[in-house]
A and B are shown apart, each in its own frame.
Chain A
């Protein structure tokens, strides 16, 4: 089977499996269950009706999505940048490691959402507090992975580079950093889904827009269709994010793949 045929087969399978799921859902809510749960059609209809045109609350779906995405991206990239720098420094320098690792070991096991109450009391869970929570989610995973990546660089790479005349700075930027990239990317991937979960939690607790708000507002109005529409949007955006992530990774870690 060549690659094109294989792709077509996979596409057919995906379409069939999603359609089957939707049909089962549609049939399933025909009876008693229908009172608790809307069918797929109203949910899909609401999703597209509110996407650019109609509104949920006072905003269209796409604006809600953008609110959540911008919060995630701000915290995610900030956390990733700080995490890469701190993690690599900890892996590279014994002193930096000795100073930061005890602190880090305590902060790391605390899930970001555990900070929500404090944030509310201190600063009221506004934009900066939400971004800070997402920052924490991203920062912890990325730091941890950059740290272990830098610590586990093959000592022979360092020897080879020293033999070829690299100085200390050059070792850090031309050996330790690239050698840690696969590990950093593993951290970035976990961080992304953790950030996505955190933004929803933060929006559910306090917010007047965003995907987390949609489902909480749906609950308050007892509007099952709105809740399900929110969940659908969360799934779709999450899927899109990890697809984009994998594309970027495949590009930057090309050298790490023996296949294709």
Chain B
């Protein structure tokens, strides 16, 4: 394997995906290709209902493509795997487990002894800033805190790739800004390859190394922008605003 290939952690080539619906066949993804390098932060930016969650489900291995191939770390994706952590659009914490129970779940399934897995889970609970809430149940947490748990839960299995499906979509504007800063801090502390889905352009420019703009359904790559601005970025800097204007056209 050449150095160049090694550094490409995700390779999607010409993926098609459609669903059978009562009216016939509904094509949701069409000829989608993507390459992600190690530790790259990629934002998939697209309109509502365009097939973003379907793309995440395909890379996560919850669904299989009709056509094309998906390779993660050189291996074809056929099912979910521990090298791919997913943060869900609707969070989907296990409500019957505490924050600690949720974060350590993956390690528990893997048979890691209690003491070790709690130490490791604690590290990620601290990383997302939830120390003191280890024994709280999800119902008692705010939306922002729940999504912090969602991020810690996926991080805790130490995946190479993090797939994040509009993680902040349901948050109010202020919490959303805060969580964007937090995610950037987390990512800079624990570098991962991230595929981050959003329909918010500011969020994409703030976080991404590269923005992939998706078309309307069926989703396909419409355009691509490399964001070279230094971090942390200012939402109101002239460069930021210029980019925003350019992408929104």
- Residues A164 and B95 in contact, CB atoms below 8 Å apart: no
Answer yes or no: B92 CB below 8 A from chain A CBs.
yes
- Residues B86 and A181 in contact, CB atoms below 8 Å apart: no
Answer yes or no: B82 CB below 8 A from chain A CBs.
yes
B59-82 at interface with A (beta carbon < 8 Å): 60, 62, 79-80, 82
Answer yes or no: B105 CB below 8 A from chain A CBs.
yes
Complex Cα spacing A174 to B102, Å:
11
Q: Determine the chain B residues whose CB is within 8 A of the CB of A31 once the complex forms.
A: none
- Residues A160 and B92 in contact, CB atoms below 8 Å apart: yes
Q: Determine the chain B residues whose CB is within 8 A of the CB of A164 once the complex forms.
A: 105-106, 109, 153, 157
Give the most central of A174, A254, A258: most B CB within 10 Å: A174
Q: Determine the chain B residues whose CB is within 8 A of the CB of A258 once the complex forms.
A: 139-140
Q: Determine the chain B residues whose CB is within 8 A of the CB of A160 once the complex forms.
A: 86, 88, 92, 94, 153
Answer yes or no: B192 CB below 8 A from chain A CBs.
no
B149-164 vs A, CB cutoff 8 Å, 1 = contact: the mask equals 0000110010000000
Give the most central of A164, A179, A258: most B CB within 10 Å: A164
- Residues B139 and A256 in contact, CB atoms below 8 Å apart: yes
Complex Cα spacing A165 to B85, Å:
10
A30, chain B: closest CB distance, angstroms: 54
Given contacts A170-B109, A255-B137, contact A163 B84 (CB under 8 A): yes
Answer yes or no: B173 CB below 8 A from chain A CBs.
no
Answer yes or no: A197 CB below 8 A from chain B CBs.
no
- Residues B139 and A162 in contact, CB atoms below 8 Å apart: no
Complex Cα spacing A170 to B105, Å:
11
- Residues B96 and A161 in contact, CB atoms below 8 Å apart: no
Which residue from A159, A170, A174, A256 sits with its C-beta under 8 Å from B95? A256
A167-211 vs B, CB cutoff 8 Å, 1 = contact: the mask equals 100100011001101000000000000000000000000000000
Which residue from B80, B88, B157 sits with its C-beta under 8 Å from A156? B88
Given contacts A254-B137, A256-B139, A257-B139, contact A163 B60 (CB under 8 A): yes
Q: Determine the chain B residues whose CB is within 8 A of the CB of A181 once the complex forms.
A: 96
Residue of A nearest to B136 (CB): A255
Answer yes or no: B110 CB below 8 A from chain A CBs.
yes
Number of inter-chain CB pairs below 8 Å? 66
Complex Cα spacing A157 to B96, Å:
11
Complex Cα spacing A169 to B90, Å:
25
Q: Determine the chain B residues whose CB is within 8 A of the CB of A162 once the complex forms.
A: 62, 79-80
- Residues A175 and B94 in contact, CB atoms below 8 Å apart: yes
Residue of B nearest to A164 (CB): B106
Answer yes or no: A166 CB below 8 A from chain B CBs.
yes
Given contacts A164-B153, A257-B139, contact A159 B106 (CB under 8 A): no
Which residue from A165, A174, A179, A255 sits with its C-beta under 8 Å from B157? A165
Answer yes or no: A154 CB below 8 A from chain B CBs.
yes
Q: Determine the chain A residues whose CB is within 8 A of the CB of B95 once the complex forms.
A: 255-256
Q: Determine the chain B residues whose CB is within 8 A of the CB of A254 once the complex forms.
A: 137
Q: Determine the chain B residues whose CB is within 8 A of the CB of A161 once the complex forms.
A: 94, 105, 109
A172, chain B: closest CB distance, angstroms: 13
Which residue from A156, A165, A167, A256 sits with its C-beta under 8 Å from B90? A156
- Residues A179 and B96 in contact, CB atoms below 8 Å apart: yes
Q: Determine the chain A residues whose CB is within 8 A of the CB of B153 once the complex forms.
A: 160, 164
- Residues A174 and B84 in contact, CB atoms below 8 Å apart: no
- Residues A178 and B96 in contact, CB atoms below 8 Å apart: yes
- Residues A167 and B137 in contact, CB atoms below 8 Å apart: no
Residue of B nearest to A181 (CB): B96
- Residues A165 and B139 in contact, CB atoms below 8 Å apart: no
Q: Determine the chain A residues whose CB is within 8 A of the CB of B140 once the complex forms.
A: 258
A129, chain B: closest CB distance, angstroms: 38
Q: Determine the chain B residues whose CB is within 8 A of the CB of A256 once the complex forms.
A: 95-96, 139
Q: Determine the chain A residues whose CB is within 8 A of the CB of B139 once the complex forms.
A: 255-258
Complex Cα spacing A165 to B95, Å:
18
Q: Determine the chain A residues whose CB is within 8 A of the CB of B85 once the complex forms.
A: 163
Apart from A161-B109, A163-B154, A178-B94, what 8 extra A-B contacts exist at CB < 8 Å? A154-B92, A156-B90, A159-B60, A160-B86, A165-B106, A174-B109, A178-B96, A255-B96
Question: Which positions in B face A, CB cutoff 8 Å?
Answer: 60, 62, 79-80, 82, 84-86, 88, 90, 92, 94-97, 105-106, 109-110, 137-140, 153-154, 157
Give the top 10 A-B pairs by smallest Cβ distance, nearest first: A164-B106, A156-B92, A178-B96, A255-B137, A162-B80, A163-B80, A166-B109, A258-B139, A163-B86, A165-B109
